Structure 1
Amino acid sequence: MSSPTRRAWGLRMPRLRGSTAARVQSYLWVNVVGIWFSVLLLVLLRFVIGPSDSLRRDVLTLAIGGTAYGVALVLARRGRLAVAAGTAVGATWFVAFALTWTTPFLTPVALLVLHIPSLVLTDAFRPRTRRTLLPTSVLLTGALVMLGESRREGQAVHEPPSPMSEVLVGVFTVLVAAIIVVGIRDAVARLARQRRELEESRARLAVASIEARRAIERDLHDGAQQRLTALAVDIGRLGRVIEKDPVRARELAHGLQPQLEAAIRELRDLAHGIYPTVLAEQGLAGALSAAARRTRLPCLVDVDGVQRYPRDVEAAVYFCCLEAMQNADRHSGGSLIRVTVAETGAPTAPTLTFTVTDDGCGFDVDDRPDAHGLTGMRDRGQSAHGVVTIRSAPGAGTTVEGRFPRDGR
């Protein structure tokens, strides 16, 4: 059992920390334990108050919900985070409406249950799904209240509430409200952390920009500038001996071309590191295909049908993919690297996405949050108004994903 779940039994509420995957798994653990604990309480209550059709239906409802949450937890552990979150949302909505139908006096609890996914699970979905989830939850709130009111009078006639009804509502309200408070606290903490990471990223980018300019200055001084200086000296010597010693002048002239070609080559290599020529001329398809030919491991590149994007976006995608490809090639120990670049969203507001995966040994991302390469990819993504995420686990390979909206939003 994970540490957040263990703390859930104590006086301190669990903290849904870490990556999105870790937080979703912690949330699912807490709910699996909480739901099955509630099932146990209701079964014990049945022995206290006697047989009750509504109580039996509540137990069945919670058992179905707890089983669905267990399936979602298994999916989350296998890396299928969006499917796991979708399963949990569906289970939550089912439990809310089923409880309201079978036991209308639990409508206040069901209302709280209905909004838990909006607080805790939204990060596991893509932005379009998030935008759909929130208004759907609002609409379902009205439907749930209507259902509860329509069922209340009929339920009171057929099965009057027991003296324990108020106690049940109070206990379950406290339990669900505690989960919501944890979710709100976690959301506030994540916003603060994201703001701090953004400020740190801007500071790192400023330092990296200064260091990059110094590196360019050093490379120019030690490379092309030295060759051009030597070339100027030889041209001066050529001018002095061209009439006095033609043989010597021809030797000097023959030596000028190799020096000039070497200087051009060094300048071209330097420019390639700033903004690759092949990227400017052929786009991401040509640049990534050329990079794939330089890896030791087989590398498959799929960049079909992608239009041209602003230079900063293409450069960020290229260098993030290049870093991920080099990491996979050097450290994964796998047998294949896959690079996919595609467009999603409406034609009027497309989003450029990339995915780099390998089938290597993987690693624990939470143990290396500040690794230079990983931090550099995230910083490059933020500099182009994009988001870069890294998913990996020991023995499960590594996936680097990025999303870059054309309009920067």
Structure 2
Amino acid sequence: MSDRAPHDADRPRRRSAYAEGRLRSYLLVNGIAIWVSVLALVVLRVFVTGESTTILRTIQVLAAGGVLVAGAIALAARGRQALAAAIVVVATWVVAVSITWITPFVAPVGLLALLLPLVIVADHLPRRGRPVIIVVTTVLSGTVVAVGSLQQESYGQTHVYSPVQALVLAMFVPLLVGVLVLGLRDYVQRLQDRTRELEESRSRLAQASVEARRGIERDLHDGAQQHLATLAVDIGRASRLWDKDPATAREVVGGLQGKLELAIRELRDLAHGIYPTALGEKGLPAALPAAARRTVLPCTVDARHVGRHAPAVEAAVYFCCLEAIQNADRHSGGTLITVRATDEDGPEVGLRFSIVDDGRGFDPGSSRAAHGLTGMRDRIRAAGGELTVHSSPGVGTTVEGVFPPGTRQTR
């Protein structure tokens, strides 16, 4: 598992970079295709067809779509992937329906064009808006077919069909089908990769669960169990001495309270590591400050505005924060640890948390570091979130996790 850890730790970053690159490539190709089509139609109108109203309207529609795609490209370059993806979907709607109305013989092209954005940019669309976009695209696909059928007769009365029309369909339909097939293949591959990652995470979590149970057994044996065994011996000794040597018996009994308190403290600390009472009763705003009070370095916590979430989410966030806090406290060499947790209202993020230290930092790709980060990342992913780690030697460390909307609960 440790040999694979560096690869696993870097995988989310590579997957995100790949998705962003795929979106930018699609937008760029889409924009180039639209403006090349506009240029070709302008040349055709000037040198071949003359003052064709149909071609002029087609140029105007394509230019409008090209402007929208250009705006989406600019937004994607600024990191606004969700908005860029939504704009390119709307641009496709406008172009597909309008072009089919103007030139109904291209209805098959418009129908295929409607499906491309959902296959290629679906991952970047706002989560809450995806159902609406899917429904609208489905309705528009029927609209394109209906418009193409209704306009065929009137178009045939005012236009003469030529081999150019058949050539346009012969060129664009295979191109769009090819892009659609490649997009579906890429989507299936991403699903397979995601499934494999989940299977690997499940295996690591199962192994971690076994190791945790063994750790609890060792802690019980070496800690509270030993103290309780000593108590049992002392109680037996006191009972035997009670009649023969009352003074010694009272001395032995007097020492029982301290040993009992030590055993209770050992059990309380162990139970806190399994699932703290404060987390179950009051959630993260109570549990995180309690964890911060056990550090050597100063540790500030701001989780005042976090509501209650699903128990699995709260547990994942708490134990991830706990491990990150302990790592920073023991190994960072810094002067301050800062923990923040917030409920956000954005369409993509419901709960966000971060642990920041100003220590010496480290290389997240190293085998030892990546092994620990993989365990934290597996815990967050198992609860439905994503974890990222930003660090390099000399600049401190930031551990950040996000969960999508929908995990908040009313209790």
Whole-angstrom CA distance in 2 between matches of 1:78 and 1:292: 36
**Secondary structure, aligned partner of 2:385:** strand
Whole-angstrom CA distance in 1 between matches of 2:363 and 2:175: 32
Identify the range of structure 1 (335-344 vs 182-191) with the bigger mean alpha-carbon deviation.
335-344
Whole-angstrom CA distance in 2 between matches of 1:144 and 1:55: 19
Alignment of 1:249-398 (within 5 A): 249-291=249-291, 296=298, 298-303=300-305, 306=308, 309=310, 311-320=311-320, 322=322, 337-341=339-343, 353-357=350-354, 371-372=370-371, 375-381=374-380, 383=382, 386-390=383-387
Pairwise CA distance, 1:268: 0.7
Whole-angstrom CA distance in 1 between matches of 2:316 and 2:54: 58
Whole-angstrom CA distance in 1 between matches of 2:141 and 2:251: 89
Identify the range of structure 1 (221-230 vs 329-338) with the bigger mean alpha-carbon deviation.
329-338
**Residue 151 and residue 18 in structure 1: after superposition, are their counterparts in 2 closer, same or farther (change >3 A)?**
farther
Give yes or no for the alignment of 1:115 onto 2:115.
yes
The residue that corresponds to 1:184 in the other structure is 184
- Give the aligned residue type for 1:47: V
Is contact 1:284-1:303 (8 Å) kept?
no
Pairwise CA distance, 1:114: 0.6
Is contact 1:332-1:358 (8 Å) kept?
no
Whole-angstrom CA distance in 2 between matches of 1:405 and 1:236: 53
Whole-angstrom CA distance in 2 between matches of 1:206 and 1:18: 26
Is contact 2:387-2:400 (8 Å) kept?
yes
The residue that corresponds to 2:209 in the other structure is 209
**Residue 190 and residue 64 in structure 1: after superposition, are their counterparts in 2 closer, same or farther (change >3 A)?**
same
**Secondary structure, aligned partner of 2:255:** helix
The residue that corresponds to 1:7 in the other structure is none
Identify the range of structure 1 (255-264 vs 157-166) with the bigger mean alpha-carbon deviation.
157-166
Whole-angstrom CA distance in 2 between matches of 1:157 and 1:255: 108
Pairwise CA distance, 1:340: 2.0
What are the superposed Cα offsets for residues 210-247 of structure 1, whole Å, 9 maximum, x if unpaired? Answer: 11111111111221122222333333333344444444
What are the superposed Cα offsets for residues 177-222 of structure 1, whole Å, 9 maximum, x if unpaired? Answer: 2221122102211222232223222222221111111111111122
Give yes or no for the alignment of 1:39 onto 2:35.
yes
Whole-angstrom CA distance in 1 between matches of 2:107 and 2:206: 54
Alignment of 1:16-31 (within 5 A): 19=15, 22-31=18-27
**Residue 36 and residue 300 in structure 1: after superposition, are their counterparts in 2 closer, same or farther (change >3 A)?**
same
Alignment of 1:130-209 (within 5 A): 130-161=130-161, 163-209=163-209
Is contact 2:324-2:399 (8 Å) kept?
no
Whole-angstrom CA distance in 2 between matches of 1:77 and 1:296: 39
Identify the range of structure 1 (374-383 vs 202-211) with the bigger mean alpha-carbon deviation.
374-383
- Give the aligned residue type for 2:403: G
**Secondary structure, aligned partner of 1:115:** helix
Identify the range of structure 1 (150-159 vs 323-332) with the bigger mean alpha-carbon deviation.
323-332
**Secondary structure, aligned partner of 1:192:** helix
What are the superposed Cα offsets for residues 53-77 of structure 1, whole Å, 9 maximum, x if unpaired? Answer: 4444444433433443343344344
- Give the aligned residue type for 2:90: G
Whole-angstrom CA distance in 2 between matches of 1:154 and 1:365: 65
Q: Percent identity at matched positions?
A: 42
Whole-angstrom CA distance in 1 between matches of 2:201 and 2:178: 34
**Secondary structure, aligned partner of 1:387:** coil
Whole-angstrom CA distance in 2 between matches of 1:95 and 1:331: 58
TM-score, with structure 2 as normaliser: 0.75
Whole-angstrom CA distance in 2 between matches of 1:279 and 1:83: 37
**Secondary structure, aligned partner of 1:85:** helix
Is contact 1:363-1:398 (8 Å) kept?
no
Ranked by relative contact order (alpha carbons within 8 Å, sequence separation 6 or more), the top structure is: 2
What are the superposed Cα offsets for residues 78-113 of structure 1, whole Å, 9 maximum, x if unpaired? Answer: 443322221221122122123223332221111011
Is contact 1:391-1:399 (8 Å) kept?
yes
In structure 1, the gaps of 5 or more residues are 1-16, 346-351
Give yes or no for the alignment of 1:129 onto 2:132.
no
Whole-angstrom CA distance in 2 between matches of 1:242 and 1:171: 103
Whole-angstrom CA distance in 1 between matches of 2:108 and 2:320: 48
In structure 2, the gaps of 5 or more residues are 1-12
**Residue 40 and residue 121 in structure 1: after superposition, are their counterparts in 2 closer, same or farther (change >3 A)?**
closer
**Residue 118 and residue 312 in structure 1: after superposition, are their counterparts in 2 closer, same or farther (change >3 A)?**
same
**Residue 297 and residue 90 in structure 1: after superposition, are their counterparts in 2 closer, same or farther (change >3 A)?**
farther
**Secondary structure, aligned partner of 1:238:** helix
